[in-house]
Amino acid sequence: MHVLLVEDDCALAESIATAMRAKGWRPDVSERGEPVPASLLKDDYDALVLDIGLPGIDGLETLRRLREQGSALPVLMLTARDAVEDRVRGLECGADDYLVKPFALSELLARLRALVRRHELRRSEILILAALRFDSSSMRAQIGERSVHLSARECIVLQYLMLRTGSVVTRDQLAALVPGWGGATSPNALELLISRLRAKIEVGGVRLRTVRGLGYLLEPANPA
């Protein structure tokens, strides 16, 4: 994975970059936000890790410029500010996730993996299984001509399952996708989400099975 890391704390930047290299990732490090838009045009990155408190233009302004440029790159913001209004500003500027310092390097890497997976999923367009149809661009589901009301978490899980129709998806894979869960959600919370999703979609000729000890499997209710 190719990551652009923008962090002016040299010691922290080196720690993050070292952890990324240990995973086989390729981090490029910058101390300032000004060069970021040009860097993204020049190189093909999978994600951006962006500190808010940068010299010159700060992380929020850097992100605002990126989104105005049309970049949809997954962005993980880093900050020492734990105020709700600061997190809201970051999300409103186009951040995909937010990590408050100090943090564990393992959590940063896990969040980045989840962001990149979700971004890859959004690139897919229309997914169809039996009478169930999911539009990845609008994150909306239909059964025939009828819209299916899904929560944001249900949409993320359904999209992932439909992309892997016929294959078992583990609990950990699904938990890592859902914002705010970070792979640490309780089995009961995930099972409740699956149960609600199952009730909404199985009328469309699909079956969402629990595979004991493994995870979940989405398949046609009546395979040909």
Quick one: average pLDDT of 200-224? 90
pLDDT above 80: residue 89: no
Domain boundary residue, one of 121, 151, 181: 121
- Domain enclosing residue 10, as ranges: 2-121
What is each CA distance from 64 to 90, 120, 169, in whole angstroms?
9, 22, 36
Domain boundary residue, one of 91, 121, 151: 121
Radius of gyration for the chain, computed over Cα atoms and rounded to the nearest angstrom: 19
The CATH code of the domain that includes 19 is: 3.40.50.2300
pLDDT tens, 103-129?
Answer: 999 999 999 998 888 777 666 678 899
Within this chain, do residues 102 and 131 fall inside the same structural domain, yes or no?
Answer: no
pLDDT tens, 28-80?
Answer: 999 998 998 888 878 888 899 999 989 989 998 998 888 877 677 899 999 88
For residue 81, report the phi and psi dihedrals to the nearest 5 degrees: -90, 125
Q: Give the angle 192-107-195 at the CA atoms, nearest 5°.
A: 10
